[in-house]
A and B are shown apart, each in its own frame.
Chain A
Amino acid sequence: MMTRMEKRNLAMGLLFASPWVLGFLVFTLYPLIMSIYYSFTSFNVVQPAVWVGLDNYRELFFKDPVFWTALYNTLYFTLFSVPLCLASGLGIAMLLNQKLPGQSVFRTLFFLPSIVPIVASAVLWLWVLNPESGLVNSLLMQWFGIQGPGWIASPEWSKPSLILMSVWGIGGAMVIFLAGLADVPPTLYEVAELDGAGAWAKFRHVTLPMLTPTILFNLVMGLISSFQYFTQVYVMTGGKGTPVDTTMFYALYLYRNSFYYLRMGYASAMAWMLFMVILAATVGVLVSSRKWVFYHGE
């Protein structure tokens, strides 16, 4: 039996939580269930969904090469972009953490690109990477006399271009690394110095272990957003994933199936496959983190 106080608290608690409860039921739980159902149907929104059993999943796995291309492109991007962004975010954060003059100005400069609206930065990079008159190729020509590649327009360079671009947006991860670095107790460095540790040893045996929780956080966030990479590539290729599907990312292909081809059942099956991939990657990282993440002082 609940006491009167407990009953009152439950009523009040639910009353205050009721906006979220309503939102969860209508905008999360109901769509979640419907999404499973739609993934077994042929559905175009206009007409009622028609049950097709496992057809969508069968088509995904055995009949649709673009699905595999999209998955490959997304994994390729993730594999290079996420570690590169983590490493450069950490590197810049460490340089910034050294009480140098002008520190806050530098921090601002590195952070700015990450708050620019993605559409604007995508249009800007289209111009920066323009093969004829873009900034990068003009400078390559002026400084080194090299004819730069076609970047986003070239099948070989399109994905590396996007990976390069993603490094421009490391501001958020950098700020989180900075906060993590500020939490490392200075006494640890003093003790390490007494033991005769050099700069590398201090990084390897003090900074890195103490930062592992922060690395884990940035890694998981990076993975999740990288698997859903969409806006940049939509803007830069006009929603087409060109050239020859080399920038057909998973989320873009899913969008095309939903709103170009109106194959919403098929797209729902794709959404669930994506969810599984993200879940597997996240769980994999979290399980492995028991071996490499070091929690201190708790």
Chain B
Amino acid sequence: MANSRKTVKTALKLGILGLLSIAFVLPFVWMLSTSFKHESRIFPPPGQPPQWIPTTDVRDDQGRTLVKFDGKSAVDLGAEETGRHHLLLDGKQVEAWDHEIEPLQQVGLHWENYSKAFEMMDFWQNLRNTLFICFCTVLGTLVSSSVVAYSFARIPWRGRDAVFVLVLATMMLPYQVTLIPLFALYSKLGWVGSFKPLIVPYWLGVPFYIFLLRQFFKTVPEDLSAAARIDGCSEFGIYARIILPLAKPALATTALFMFLFQWGDFLNPLIYLQDDRQYTLAIALQQFQSQHVSAWGPLMAMSTVITLPIIVLFFFTQRTFIQGITMSGLKG
């Protein structure tokens, strides 16, 4: 009795989770489905249910489309400008109006949304720009933040803890406060319209990752450093040859989060990139959207292309991911 009640409870919870997770995933399915649909299927006639599985026209061996007319299938021989179609029905030629016929459909994918989006967006250039920025900022963050974190975690210098509080405090500062003076500074330096404002700051330590790496560095036993020091290892040697190799998981988390952030970052490229040859994928998608407001096929194709690499990356790095978030949340 108690057992069957437990089974019912479990089934109920699984049902709730199932329904909720479907609701969370449905927008993705809708995105993917739309990206493979022909324009005529993206906007179904009013009252028609949404189409989930993309379809294509059915054609005969001569490439002519098949249509449904009067409950039977016929070959569409072509239409006049008036909308009058010539059909081949059971070997006889008949005529029908546009609204009297319906093209036969079969399950199939329309790839042209993707080719259209690639052409209209200068996709490969945008991808190159995005990857270039990702690479430079990830590398910069790894190098600079780990060096600084080493100072806060492993060297007991006077005033260190007070300065570290300052590092944490800068994380609380809303970006809007420094936005305008930074823009003024970069335009004085002639950096506006280049990648420099998007990259250089990341080579000077990023507070969140300094914090993350410091927490990790602190867990390495002090004895290791002491032993290396006795062997005549320099401070930099300890950092490079002892601490860094042990901190691979934290470095991986840093690289992953930074890559993800840069891949989707919007505000900074929006402000600092001016020539469309420099656009990142995120900016290019937004620009494309603002110029082709209802080109939902290509828009969903582009959204899929930007989203898919992130989802694939997530599946390969799930553990690093979840650990990273937990680390940043709980020790904070």
Contacts and interface: CB of A to CB of B under 8 A. Distances in A.
Contacts of B290: 238
Nearest to B45: A133
A260 interface: no
A172 B325 contact: yes
Contacts of A15: 151
Given A31-B182, A175-B322, A119 B264 contact: yes
A196 interface: no
A117 interface: yes
Contacts of A45: 183-184, 187
Contacts of A219: none
B152 to A, nearest CB: 7
B228 to A, nearest CB: 14
B239 A16 contact: yes
Q: How large, as a class, is the contact surface on chain B?
A: 35 or more
B13 A120 contact: no
Given A138-B49, A267-B180, A271-B180, A106 B21 contact: yes
A119 B310 CA distance: 13
Nearest to A218: B329
Contacts, number: 266
Interface in A1-44: 2, 6, 9-10, 12-17, 19-20, 22-24, 26-28, 30-32, 34-35, 38, 43
Interface in B287-313: 289-290, 296, 299-300, 302-303, 306-307, 310-311
B123 interface: no
B157 interface: yes
Interface residues of A, number: 93
A218 B144 CA distance: 28
A206 interface: no
Interface in B137-169: 144, 147-148, 150-152, 155-160, 163, 166-167
Given A13-B160, A20-B204, A95 B181 contact: no
B177 A116 contact: no
B91 to A, nearest CB: 39
B52 to A, nearest CB: 10
Contacts of A20: 144, 148, 167, 204-205, 207, 210
B31 interface: yes
Contacts of A184: none
Contacts of B124: none
Given A10-B158, A16-B239, A168-B24, A127 B147 contact: no
Contacts of B34: 127
Contacts of B26: 135
A3 B299 CA distance: 65
Nearest to A127: B296
Interface stretch (A70-78, A187-195, A222-230): A222-230
A28 B178 contact: yes
Contacts of B205: 19-20, 23
Contacts of B302: 123
Contact of B307 (A96, A120, A172, A282): A120
A132 B43 contact: yes
Contacts of A22: 204
Contacts of A180: 330
Given A135-B50, A217-B329, A95 B13 contact: yes
B326 to A, nearest CB: 4
A30 B178 CA distance: 9
Given A16-B235, A168-B24, A27 B204 contact: yes
Given A24-B170, A106-B21, 14 more contacts: A31-B177, A31-B181, A35-B177, A100-B14, A110-B20, A116-B264, A117-B307, A119-B264, A123-B289, A123-B300, A133-B43, A141-B47, A235-B286, A235-B289
